[in-house]
Structures are given as structure tokens and as C-alpha cells.
């Protein structure tokens, strides 16, 4: 369990550094076709359906690779 947490921490640090150096590298997150955005007056509703599906699939693949 400790190795997994250390790995996740290192991965988050790497992603944070990439995000800091290249802010447009992750601009696709939340802007995929199928993400629901609705604006009405002062109210904005945002539901990232496709983004969460993509993140879920990637996380499942990565976790299955670590568990083998």
C-alpha cells in the first residue's frame, strides 16, 4: 500500500510540474465533446460526463497494470 501511495504522489508531482511549465497541456480536460455546459443568467451548470469516463478508463488501466 505504501508503494502505491508513493507512486501516486510522484505521479502527481510530475503532472503538477508539467502543468506549471506547459499550462495548455491539459486544456482538453473539461472541454471534450459530450461534457454538458449550461448557462442561464447568473447560473452555470457544468457536468463533465465524457471527461470523467476518460479518467475512469485510464485509472482502471493503470491500476490493473500495477496490480499484476
SS3 string, 11-63, reads: HHHHHHHHHHHCHHHHCCCCCCCCCEEEEECCEEEEECHHHHHHHHHHHHHHH
Residues paired with 43 in a beta bridge: 40
Domain segments of the chain: what residues?
2-67
pLDDT in tens, 1-41: 788 889 889 989 998 998 899 988 777 777 888 889 899 99
What do you get for the CA distance between the two ends of the chain, in Å?
14
Place of cell 503532472: 15
Q: What pTM did the predictor assign?
A: 0.62
Amino acid at each position: 500500500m505504501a508503494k502505491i501511495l508513493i507512486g501516486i504522489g510522484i505521479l502527481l508531482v510530475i503532472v503538477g510540474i508539467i502543468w506549471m511549465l506547459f499550462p495548455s497541456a491539459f486544456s482538453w480536460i473539461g472541454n471534450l465533446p459530450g461534457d454538458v455546459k449550461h448557462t442561464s443568467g447568473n447560473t452555470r451548470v457544468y457536468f463533465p460526463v465524457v471527461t470523467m469516463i476518460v479518467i475512469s478508463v485510464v485509472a482502471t488501466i493503470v491500476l490493473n497494470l500495477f496490480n499484476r
